[in-house]
Structure 1
Amino acid sequence: MTDSIFTPRRAFLACATATLALGLTAGAALAADKYPSKTIEVVTHAGAGGGTDVTTRMMMMRARRELKADMTVVSKRGGGGAVAMNYINKKKRDGYTIMTITPSHLFTIAMGKSVLKIDDLVGIARATDDPQLLMAKAGKFKDAKAMLAEAGKRKLKVAGTHVGGIDQVTVATFANKAGIKINYIPYEGGGHIVTNLIGGDVDIGVLNLSEAESQIKAGEIQPLIVLAKKRMGPLPNVPTSVEMGIDATFSTVRGFVTLKGTGDAELKTLEAKLVCDVSAYGTD
């Protein structure tokens, strides 16, 4: 994410500072309608079961308690986030619509395929920073070296989400650096990738750990390569791309934004409660 959306901060300090700010402005807030006083929509472009969908629902379940208001997830899939951005652009700037944002949205904006520009969005909180992994059906390849050897003989079918999104950029960069050719197959979300990976319809899936953790534990899916500089704590035996001499590192950063023009009081409330919320499950 760019600093224009998310200003770096430690979660605890942000939570404490934002909560203090709320207390200082409480008197003024009493003069107006209490916020929030109705359901807040959380808009996502992700399919069910994917990392973005999971992150969004985790945040929503906890933030309901912090905000003392109902929240509902609204799925607007398509166009690498373009459909979701078009949807929120039609909403009032009143704090009752927020959106989960990912690199796919930023790519879509950069390519001029969104009605919104980067300056039309205001950051609320960062949620996760998940390294991308290349995974296969358990038993399909002995290890990462075996997968690369097979890729030298034929085009592997690689599953990801959205044409032109973070997954396709990840795969294209990795293939270029590794000197292999692949056939990219887009799906609606991480859940669909997992299903088709286990079903044998594709050779490799680009996934985050959160999208396939249960299938890994069940022995159905095998993580082969972490596209990062350092190994992941939960997967200590899975090598990184850098270890293998392939300079391709990618992660999916997810956060929450709303529309520029939203009132300061509403923004302060959202920042205080969502920053407290995401820090509760280990992010900063």
Structure 2
Amino acid sequence: MKKLILLSILLCGLLVVTACGSNDGDEAAADNYPEQNIELIVGAGPGGGIDNFARATESQLSDILGTNIQITNLEQASGAVANQTTANNPADGHTLNYISSTYIISNASGQNETGLDQLTPVARMQSDILALIVNPDKFADFDEFLEHVEQNGASVGGTHALSPDEMGFLELVNESGIDNMNYVPYDGTGQVQAAVMGDNLDAYVGVLSAVQEYADSGDLEPILIFTEERLEEFPDTPVTVEDYGWDVTNGNERGVLVHADTPPEIIEKLESTLKEIFDSEEYKDYEEASNLQYRDGWMGSEEYLEKLEADYENYQELITNLK
């Protein structure tokens, strides 16, 4: 009996030592991280919003972490290849997946099978606000647009089916009860903007970052902004929550994911590195030049995970109701 008790004590001690050794291993890995070049995987082509975001962090990531950075564009299957590649690579923090809201939308729709059980957030750095945008020669404000919808219905464009634009459109319809509108997908932002300016569409849902130039020239104008409070940059434009009480605030978010089994210490190191970049003057200059400063984009790993999980449920419901 004494031998059995002694054996149990020894086994428990071995388990404790093993567990401690594992934790020490993770801490050592974080201390030595990075041990090789880091690859930034972008699930979109060069020159787009996610690609620009990755390149805006590239130089500072290299300087702070002391390693070379390689950007790889994997735009196939709307970013699904990029997500799967990250999940298939080693869980050591040397592969960073730069994503937009398209990631969680495509996951909710079943088009992207690499979910939050295989990838986990490091940080969100951008929250690009959506708006309902019109040709001001056709509608002076949102009230005029609503009157037109009530009498004639409306065709509202956006980029692609099951895009952040369409999700914003569906949220607006659900919250406002304005259901006499149909969504028309276009291949790109430039095409949908041209369709509105050419009177082939009544309006479009899109990000504020892409409309500033046209708003300055008077060719396009946001008439409803999907956010909580009126923006300093658009003080006369109503917003969904403050002015109408509609819970429509999601935009196009951009952040960074890694393999879900990446040691927490490495994720923490990456998170603090990205926060340092986010707070830097260089990054703030990029934000303003890209019109991304309207809403604070920062979320740390845990908060961003909670947001993505909530978005998954929300988008799955919206998409299910489409069928």
Q: TM-score under structure 1 normalisation?
A: 0.74
Letter in 1 for 2:270: L
The 5 A counterparts of 1:77-226 are 78-79=77-78, 81-176=79-174, 177-226=176-225
Which string of whole-angstrom CA distances, capped at 9 and with x for unpartnered residues, describes residues 97-148 of structure 1? 2223343322332343322121212221121223321112342311111111
Unaligned runs of 5+ in 1: 1-24
User: How far is 1:226 from its partner?
Assistant: 0.8
Is 1:251 matched with 2:250?
Answer: yes
2:64 maps to 66
User: How far is 1:154 from its partner?
Assistant: 2.9
- Identity percentage over the alignment? 23
Is 1:234 matched with 2:198?
Answer: no
Which shifted more, 188-197 or 274-283?
Answer: 188-197
Bigger proportion of residues as helix: 2
Unaligned runs of 5+ in 2: 1-24, 285-295, 299-323
The 5 A counterparts of 1:245-284 are 245=244, 247-252=246-251, 253-263=253-263, 266-280=266-280, 281=284, 283-284=297-298
1:10 maps to none
Q: Secondary structure at the match of 2:152?
A: coil
- Ranked by relative contact order (alpha carbons within 8 Å, sequence separation 6 or more), the top structure is 1
User: How far is 1:75 from its partner?
Assistant: 4.6
Letter in 1 for 2:130: Q
Letter in 1 for 2:272: A
Q: Aligned in 2, Cα 1:85/1:29: closer, same or farther, shift over 3 Å?
A: closer
Q: Aligned in 2, Cα 1:92/1:28: closer, same or farther, shift over 3 Å?
A: closer
2:230, 2:242 within 8 Å by CA — same for their partners in 1?
Answer: no
User: How far is 1:247 from its partner?
Assistant: 1.8
Give, in whole Å, the separation in 2 of the partners of 1:114 and 1:277. 29
Q: TM-score under structure 2 normalisation?
A: 0.66
2:5 maps to none
Q: Aligned in 2, Cα 1:279/1:201: closer, same or farther, shift over 3 Å?
A: farther
Q: Which has the larger radius of gyration?
A: 2
2:87, 2:119 within 8 Å by CA — same for their partners in 1?
Answer: no
1:18 maps to none
2:36 maps to 37
Letter in 1 for 2:123: A
User: How far is 1:156 from its partner?
Assistant: 2.3
Letter in 1 for 2:87: N
Q: Aligned in 2, Cα 1:61/1:30: closer, same or farther, shift over 3 Å?
A: closer
2:142, 2:223 within 8 Å by CA — same for their partners in 1?
Answer: yes
Letter in 2 for 1:273: T
1:158, 1:184 within 8 Å by CA — same for their partners in 2?
Answer: yes
Q: Secondary structure at the match of 1:251?
A: coil
1:47, 1:191 within 8 Å by CA — same for their partners in 2?
Answer: no
Give, in whole Å, the separation in 2 of the partners of 1:46 and 1:236. 35
1:119, 1:260 within 8 Å by CA — same for their partners in 2?
Answer: yes
Which string of whole-angstrom CA distances, capped at 9 and with x for unpartnered residues, describes residues 222-245 of structure 1? 111012231112111111134553
